[in-house]
Structure 1
Amino acid sequence: MTHDHSLDWGVLSDMDGTLLDTEGTWMQVVEQFARDHDGADAAGLAAAAEGLDLDRAAFLLRERLALTVTLADIAVDLDRRALAAYASAVTWRPGAPELLRGLVDAAVPLALVTSSPRHWVERFAQSVDLSAFQSTVTADDTVRTKPAPDPYLDGAAALGLPAARCVVLEDSLVGAWSAVSAGCVTVVVGDRAQNLPPGVHHVASLSEVDVPMLRRIAEGVTL
């Protein structure tokens, strides 16, 4: 294992939809919740909930569906539904395990920064190996979650690095704005190429990403 002492940089990665194939399941959970409460635009509500933590999603649904139950009750219901949906094996997104292995072999500091609660991360860790990460920041760990900068600022601090020396891997607009507002160099993964924050990099899949590419991005090289 070698470490590039000439460049102190790290990687902060989102989890759902970026590393793990869970975002679609979450959106299906939100869509079904909306249908169960006579939501007229269940698919639109699901899309609006992409990247949101339980509390923000609960607020969105309560407002849009004009529900009278408490935010806490909605969040508990979403949590129950999501865990049931995740009961089957959770799988990696293409290229994710290979990239993590490369980062570990190169001794690049790694932190997981997610809008999911910690008990979801613990559940997923039963299906996939998340031991590459030196630190994990969940929705339970910050007062303000994505799109606020706090989660990524905390992730950088956990690695002992300034946010500007961290490359973020994200798949949602909510997460991308969180990373950019924290001052991180940001790579958005997936088919989302529209309405991205200025200055972010975009790749179609993590299969296109390797350690040398991330090192160049950290050094300020434009792809």
Structure 2
Amino acid sequence: MQRAVLKTSKLSKTFSNGGMQQHILKNLDLEIYDGDFTVIMGSSGAGKSTLLYALSGMDKPTLGEIYFGNQEITGLNNDKLAIFRRKNCGFVFQQIYLLDNMSVMDNIIACGLLLSDNKKEIAERAGKLLLAVGLKENVWHKFPSQLSGGEAQRGGIVRALINTPGILFADEPTGALNSSSGNAVLNVLTEVNEKGQSIIMVTHDLKSALRGSRILYLKDGSVCGECKLGTYKGEDENRNAALLSFLKKMGW
């Protein structure tokens, strides 16, 4: 039986817009399992990114509870939430938020130093991770502007992994990349998941969604369907057909 690493109870998020209440998430009960590659899909405005930010502690829900393991995080103040995120969460976004005035390696080390003062140990781990994602030593000390989009995003993934997060959160990580670079990033995510890394990824892209082991479809602020695809083993007509059939049923 899989262990739930993250779960929600009656999670709701409401925004006030011109005096009107806009309900983005509605009484959402959800469990995320250890080692899963969970993909969240849904139409534009369904609340996918809002859910991702709430689950990661980047945004507070209006109502409900979020448990990371046995820890309830919705009651934490902003300072404690920041510490929680450093220790437990890694983030990869559509925009590559590497600092322009620092090399890729220095970006990663700076993140590692948030939890440890052993710079040598952090640099050694960063080097191993960079090699694992296909970035050779000749690019480690380049600035982000000197890299391709795919290279920079892979550097961003290493930065997200440097503190060994319990969950890696990815919000449209291939959205700003061309097909080749996007595929390289998806390969990295697949590989780290195969090693046991739990991932939650928001995407509207079918090719990206195929990498997931579990697809959740969000509609009107609630999960209205789930598709279990199992571990990704490469291009598979049956996998494609299963996902397309599920998405058609969901009205995608």
Smaller-chain TM-score bracket:
0.3 to 0.5
Structure with the largest fraction of strand: 2
Rg comparison, structure with higher value:
2
Q: Taking structure 2 as the reference length, what is the TM-score of the superposition?
A: 0.30
Structure with the largest fraction of helix: 1
